[in-house]
Amino acid sequence: MEALVVLEPNHFEIQQVPVPTPGPNEVLARVRAVSICGTDAHLIRGDYPGFWPPAFPFIPGHEWAGEIVALGPGAGGYGWAVGDRVAGTSHDACGVCQKCVEGRYNLCENYGRPGLHKQYGHNVQGADATYVVQGVKTIFRLPDGLSFEEGAIIDPASIGLHVAVRGGVRPGDTVVVTGGGAIGLLAGDSARALGAGRVIVVEKNPGRLARAAELGFEIVDPAAGDPVAIVRDRTAGLGVDVVLECAGVPVTVNWALGMLRRGGRCAAVGIPVVGVEIAMQRLVLDELELVGSRASAGEMRRVMPLVEQGRVRLREIMTHRFALADYGQALATFNDPESGAIKIVIVP
């Protein structure tokens, strides 16, 4: 089969490799669409040495959709059949640790332990290929009304919903989203689906800011002035109920905390690559809440009806499509802040 093989940091090729064989409780799926995630770009650059991936060569990719073409031993007992249309996610957790038992499999306490946990496209081979093998815990039935390209964005949509849930968004809340990339816009839609009265997107990239406006969000351009002051001015000086921090840079984390009203809550899904200094005094005295949000934990199934209803919009954030053979061009487009890229879909 054709696959994107990363040989070493910043060096990848499209190669012919053997089609993998599904093991017990696994399926082999034909990948019909796979999208590029920011983690893919970091992994290809070698930003997580020895962790993601544990070693090279490596096939990345974890946001995908396709159809089942073969079943491993036992997989049929879970109701799967050849020809089923599925969307995949990455965490194949152990299922028996305390966090898994509590339904928080994204926090599996056996993360990365061989035989107990896999994260496809991170610490085991991924879906940037013609075929992929994944466990039955990580595939979800794709509704007939959704295309494979939409299916490839169900995983990031579930992450957007998870961060909104972690933010505790309630009906009538005023919500700020810092970062207008794919996760930020999907989180904004998810906040609306949970009942937010207002959603404000803070983004410096002109193309992404324009797309946020087209999607009906209020927007704040940091180039126009201090975004904290602008948001507070729009909320009669009070601040907002919830901030969903989707940018992952130190300045946006501090903006997020500065925008909260007393008792407000910030859920952070963006991952800064350096340390962040925060105003602990205000965190304590105003009883602010700052919580992390990792991947998703059950939201794959829950986000699909929202997508079918048009309440979480996927096609509106798809900006580019490439063949797998053109992955180099696709990645360059993804990494170019002037390209207008939000979500790029690869078709093997």
Predicted TM-score of the model (pTM): 0.97
Q: What whole-number distance in Å separates Cα of residue 198 and Cα of residue 43?
A: 35
Residue for token digits 């991947």? 295
Query: pLDDT for 96-119, tens place per residue?
Result: 999 999 999 999 999 999 999 999
Query: pLDDT for 122-155, tens place per residue?
Result: 999 999 999 999 999 999 999 999 999 999 999 9
Identify the structural domains of the chain with CATH numbers, from first to last.
2-153+314-347 (3.90.180.10), 160-292 (3.40.50.720)
State the chain's mean pLDDT as an integer. Answer: 97
Half-sphere exposure of 119 (CA within 13 A, CB side): 19
* Alpha-helix residue ranges (DSSP H) falling in 194-292: 206-214, 227-234, 250-259, 280-285
Angle (CA) 137-139-141 rounded to 5° is 125
pLDDT attached to residue 273: 79
Query: Helix (H, G, I), strand (E, B), or coil: what is residue 231?
Result: helix
Residue 39 designated active-site: yes
Query: pLDDT for 307-348, tens place per residue?
Result: 999 999 999 999 999 999 999 999 999 999 999 999 999 999
Query: pLDDT for 78-94, tens place per residue?
Result: 999 999 999 999 999 99
**% of the chain surpassing 90 pLDDT:** 99
Q: Which of 11, 21, 39, 320 is catalytic?
A: 39
Q: What is the mean pLDDT of residues 171-197?
A: 98
Q: What whole-number distance in Å separates Cα of residue 231 and Cα of residue 228?
A: 5
pLDDT attached to residue 274: 87
Residue 91 designated active-site: no
Q: Which of 11, 21, 42, 117 is catalytic?
A: 42
Q: What is the mean pLDDT of residues 62-72?
A: 98
